[in-house]
Amino acid sequence: ERFDIQLKGSGRTPYSRNGDGRAVLGPMLREYIVSEAMHALKIPTTRSLSVVSTGEDVYREKIEQGAILTRVASSHIRFGTFEYASYMLGPDKLKALADYTIKRHFPFIENSENKYIDFINEVMRRQIKLVAKWQSVGFIHGVLNTDNMSICGETIDYGPCAFMDVYDPDTVFSSIDTYGRYSYKNQSFIINWNLCRLAEALLPLIDNDENKAIEIMQNNLDKFTELFTSEIISNMSSKIGIFSPTEDDISLLNELLSMMKKYKQDFTNTFIALTFGDFPKNEMFSSDEFVNWHKKWQARIISHGKSKDEIFNLMKNSNPAVIPRNHRVEEALSAAEKGDFSVMNNLLKALSNPYEHSEFQKEYAKIPTSSQCVYKTYCGT
């Protein structure tokens, strides 16, 4: 297989936006931890080959230890790469970039009669599958601009990302996301918006008549909502043991999620409780609402004729025992910055097989205390 390698924090480049191009140890280790967790969760992602300390002082809000991350990806071609080519380099360079990308990453459409239309459709399909997987484990990217979306459908750039503890669709972690643009619930809208920007950049390749090119692209992008809805329902239904979701299952899922929000339930641990039938003694699980929902749910999963083992295995393999919880990641980074990497290594061990549901992982499944829930992430590296 072929991979691209990128150094993050090695110094200024033409894209440094007047910054120093340096990175600090904590955020680089953070990307290492979270990207490895995503890989273990079977979610397409860039990975971190290494983090190396540089011995330099890097000046941020305070003086911090310098570090360089070596990031590995199927490709570092982004949506923004096409915008740059379209707006700055002209149609010939845009075509060269598109042809290169198709040949390298989508060779099965290279000889297609409408390969650029097929290209946008394939990119859309991959992004939909990716973000639906994010949603199903409570992952919030935090800064979904067009430069942070890989054309291959891999998760890229782990700056202000985090995993949701208490279920709330409005959850935001990024310090700069004042209005919730990149909140958990808005991620599908944002990738749709970004796909529109990619489609705009590709218009010169679709048809010489711009209006006709816009119409063709619009007809294709209009499929987004239906495709995303189908994908997210499929993923979320698996979490409650439903193999072939129907329209009625949407109401069942929404009812559960509404209860989780109302009673401030932990996203990951609620689905673990449903998987193993081991319900904590708290307000939601003791409520008449849950008892009534549970009866409907049990009737539904029995109705499709699958065995208890089949249902259990579907849920067990759809609901991770552990995620890189924010307080655990910060704990590991704090120790690492003092030279103790044992905390991080133990965390990585717990995250390495999230569907194992081992005794060792139970410690890492514990929810944060109230004082650990006040959490912000930052873009600056």
Cα angle: 321, vertex 325, 330; to 5 degrees: 145
Cα separation, 358 vs 349, in Å, equals 11
Active site residue ranges: 147
Cα separation, 151 vs 243, in Å, equals 30
Q: What is the DSSP letter of 14?
A: T
Cα separation, 224 vs 335, in Å, equals 44
The maximal CA–CA distance of the chain, rounded, in angstroms, is 65
Cα separation, 365 vs 50, in Å, equals 26
Cα separation, 199 vs 119, in Å, equals 10
User: Is 131 in contact with 85 (CB distance < 8 Å)?
Assistant: no
Cα separation, 160 vs 148, in Å, equals 12
The closest alpha carbon to 171, from 141, 201, 191, belongs to 141
Residues in Cβ contact with 353 at an 8 Å cutoff, skipping those fewer than 6 apart: 40
Residue linked to tokens 């570090």: 67
Cα angle: 107, vertex 111, 113; to 5 degrees: 130
Q: Annotate 286-333 with DSSP letters as a single string.
A: HSHHHHHHHHHHHHHHHHTT--HHHHHHHHHTTS-S----HHHHHHHH
Cα separation, 292 vs 374, in Å, equals 33
Sequence-distant contacts of 175-181: CB under 8 A, at least 24 apart: 175/376, 175/377, 175/378, 175/379, 176/143, 176/378, 176/379, 177/142, 177/143
